[in-house]
Amino acid sequence: MTLVLDASAGIEILLQREKCVLFGSIHEDSDWVIAPNLYMEELTNVLWKYCKAGLVTHAQCMELAEDGLSMVDDFFDAKDYWKEALAEGIKYSHSIYDLYFAILARRNDATLLTNDKTLHEMCRAMNIKSLC
C-alpha cells in the first residue's frame, strides 16, 4: 500500500500517543510512504511548540524531527499541484494545507493516514482513501 503520512499521524507515532501502535503498524506495513513538502513544516512546527512548552528538550526536539522526517520515503513539491489543492479547498471550503495531503493521496492511489477527523471526513466526501 502507498501511504500519505499526515503530520498529525506522524506526531502520534513519534510521541507515542494514543494511536501510536495502530498508526505505527499501518506505517510499517506500507510499501511506499509519501508526503507533500509541507509535512516538514507542519511536523517541525508542532515539535517546536512542544519544546517551547517544555515538554521536550531542544535535543529531543531535534531528534524527533529527524525521526519524523525519516518516516517518509519521498516528498512532493506543492508547486506541482497547488492549483488542484486550491480548487478543491474552495470547493469543499477546507484548509488548503490539508488539501495538499488529500490531493497527493488521490493522485497516487494512496491512503491518507491522519489523526485529523475533519480531514478524514473530507476525504470520504472526496472519495479519497483515508484512515484515522
Kindly list the distances between the CA atom of residue 131 and the CA atoms of 36, 54, 114, in Å, as whole numbers in the listed order: 17, 31, 6
Q: What is the 3 state secondary structure string of the chain?
A: CEEEECHHHHHHHHCCCCCHHHHHHHHHHCCEEEEECHHHHHHHHHHHHHHHCCCCCHHHHHHHHHHHHHCCCEEECHHHCHHHHHHHHHHHCCCHHHHHHHHHHHHCCCEEECCCHHHHHHHHHCCCCEEC
Query: Strands 32-36, 111-113: parallel, antiparallel or unpaired by DSSP?
Result: unpaired
Among 35, 53, 110, 85, smallest CA distance to 15 is for 53
- The confidence score (pLDDT) of residue 71 equals 98
The pLDDT tens digits of the residues spanning 38-58 come to 999 999 999 999 999 999 999
- The confidence score (pLDDT) of residue 49 equals 96
The CATH number linked to 25 is 3.40.50.1010
CB atoms within 10 A of CB 116: 19
- pLDDT band at 118, cuts 50/70/90? very high
Whether residue 37 contacts residue 44, with contact meaning beta carbons closer than 8 Å, is answered with no
Domain that holds residue 71: 2-131
- The confidence score (pLDDT) of residue 39 equals 97
pLDDT, mean of residues 10-35: 96
- The confidence score (pLDDT) of residue 42 equals 96
Residue 49 is placed in which grid cell?
A: 511548540
Alpha-carbon distance of 92 to 126, in angstroms, equals 9
- The confidence score (pLDDT) of residue 30 equals 98
Q: For the chain, how many structural domains are there in total?
A: 1
